[in-house]
Amino acid sequence: MKSAELNRQIQYIKGLVKSTTESTNSNLELQGHWGKYLCILAAGFLENAISEIYSELTINSSSPQVASFTSKVLQKINNPKASKFVETAYAFKKEWGKELEKYFEDNPKTKTAIDSIMANRHLIAHGKTTTVSVARLKEYLEGSIEALEYIENQCGIA
């Protein structure tokens, strides 16, 4: 990730993943609870990422007024599944939307990663049963990061 803020968030979550695995030993119940907590953090990270990446684009390519307005609109995006990332890409540039759709078709694990984080976050928030684990969350996070790096490159974020 090229964004310093997103890198900070990723490192924080990855650090928790590592310490959770070490500190819970093989207590599956504790790992399950930590998996839920980490899923909530990962969902927040995705919300921050869609706003951060596209806000960076507008800051670098438009007037301060347009960048300010766009950032405020982007900050209101909640629970972004892969389809919301595609919709946002289309809003900026039709070709980007098409390219991102194709990227998700060619890399289904990245789409599944984003959608699984958001689906599990929804289940957790509403007190439903979920089978998300620390190990699975780690996989989802890696897949999500791949997709976000693709979007950063698409937007020309340096």
Which residues form the domain of 31?
A: 4-154
pLDDT value at residue 91:
96
Classify 21 in phi/psi space as left (phi over 0), alpha (psi -120 to 50) or beta: alpha
pLDDT value at residue 21:
76
Q: What percent of the chain clears pLDDT 90, i.e. is strictly above it?
A: 86
Structural domains counted in the chain: 1
Give the mean model confidence (pLDDT) for residues 30-44: 94
CB-count exposure of residue 81 (10 Å: 0-12, 13-18, 19+): middle
Name the strand (E) or helix (H) holding 52. helix 28-61
Distances (CA, A) of 117 to 42, 136, 158: 7, 10, 27
**Whether 103 contacts 147, CB under 8 Å:** yes
